[in-house]
Amino acid sequence: MNRSIAKRSLLAMTLAWFSVSPALAEENTSPLSAELSYLAESVRNYSGGLQKGTKNQATGTAAISIDVEKAVGWPGASAYVEFIVNHGREPNTTLLGDAQGASNIADGNRNRLQQAWFQQNLMDDAISLLVGTHDLNSEFYVSEYAGFFTNSSFGIGPEIGGNAGTSLWPEAGLAARVALQFNEQISLRVAGYDGDPATRALDGGVEGYMYIAELAYVDGDAAYKVGGWKHTKAATANAGQGLSGGYLIVDQPVMDWDGGNLGAFLQVGVAQRAAESFKNYIGVGVHVAGLIPGRADDEFGIAMARADFSDTYLTANAGFSKNETVFEVSYRAQLTDWLAIQPAFQFIKSPSGNTGLQDAKVSLLRVEISM
């Protein structure tokens, strides 16, 4: 990790925080609310993959939410601005050789305005309209239980993130989204996104667009979601036809006890067989809160993520395995209101399907500061 970059980035974010904090002193009356977080991680590969070794990386986020109604009296309006500061070296390209991404904060060195959007709610929030730079995965393909884990596939399946230019962390793109809340449990979201957020340009003829829709039933911690998507210019074996797919998300509470609960999740994603990299994905696991008595805010989980490679990928890489499978065990300890630590272990079977690489045994240690 470049320490000078890390120090400058953290200093800049800290100064930004303290510059807005006086306006937030009266939390109930201020139109502003702010969040500052810094997550540092060490990734060590003990065997297999590309080579043994350790890589360090970190990501910082400074975000401001604006209640426009409180600020200027505009009913139902809100806005959001988010900056990210990332540094370090990606472990998948230097140590692991995996395809799914063992770390969901791996990025390299980057300073970026990640999100900046305006939202208008209508009819007592039954209708919500959003425009601006927006992270697709902040609303679509979200499993609360799976999102606890460190592997990238538990955030959004590789059949989307690994096949098509998509507005995801750390490169969100321009978007327009409509959300309909039919009742307390049932909602529908439909959105269109820039087809290549990395360029910051909007060129449908060259880069295409990413369209996505999701129908959800959410009742407390239980959630059942089904979605469909199409990228009009994604690289495929059938050039020019784009790529489409669908997904299913299930978050199912299993049992509760005094100070804790157990839940299970399922992620299923499919893409057309002509996809460039992945044709389908399945993620499954269990999540436990309050496993240790007296530690209600701690979390523990065991999960598996399997990504099946597309026919196009296997043709280009003759002799490769048909899938990459990851098993993860993780525990997150909330030490104080602002400090948490999360060790995790991943066993990566057939990294990238490359039969020349042995299975990788990887540990991750995260430290998170949030205010």
Confirm if 272 and 313 have CB atoms less than 8 A apart.
no
Which position has the token pair 């303290």? 18
Q: Tell me what percent of the residues of the chain surpass a pLDDT of 70.
A: 91
Q: What is the CATH number of the domain that holds 356?
A: 2.40.160.180
Reading the block at residue 351, the tokens are 């990294």
Coil, helix or strand at residue 124: coil
pLDDT above 80: residue 321:
yes
End-to-end CA distance of the chain: 24
Q: What are phi and psi of 184, to 5 degrees?
A: -65, -20
Q: What is the pLDDT of residues 135-152, one digit of tens each?
A: 999 999 999 999 999 999
Say what the pLDDT of residue 23 is. Answer: 47
Q: Is 101 left (phi over 0), alpha (psi -120 to 50) or beta?
A: left
pLDDT above 90: residue 332:
yes
Q: What is the mean pLDDT of the chain?
A: 92
* Of the candidates 240, 186, 239, 196, the residue with the CA atom closest to the CA atom of residue 216: 186
The total of other beta-carbon atoms located within 10 Å of residue 44's CB is 16
Coil, helix or strand at residue 94: helix
Mean predicted confidence (pLDDT) in 303-317 = 96
Distance CA 122, CA 311 (A): 46
Please report which confidence band the pLDDT of residue 244 belongs to, taking 50, 70 and 90 as the band edges: very high
Structural domains counted in the chain: 1
Say what the pLDDT of residue 8 is. Answer: 53
Mean predicted confidence (pLDDT) in 209-232 = 97
Please report which confidence band the pLDDT of residue 238 belongs to, taking 50, 70 and 90 as the band edges: low
Query: Can you give the residue range of the structural domain that contains 199?
Result: 3-370
Say what the pLDDT of residue 97 is. Answer: 97
Reading the block at residue 322, the tokens are 């048909």
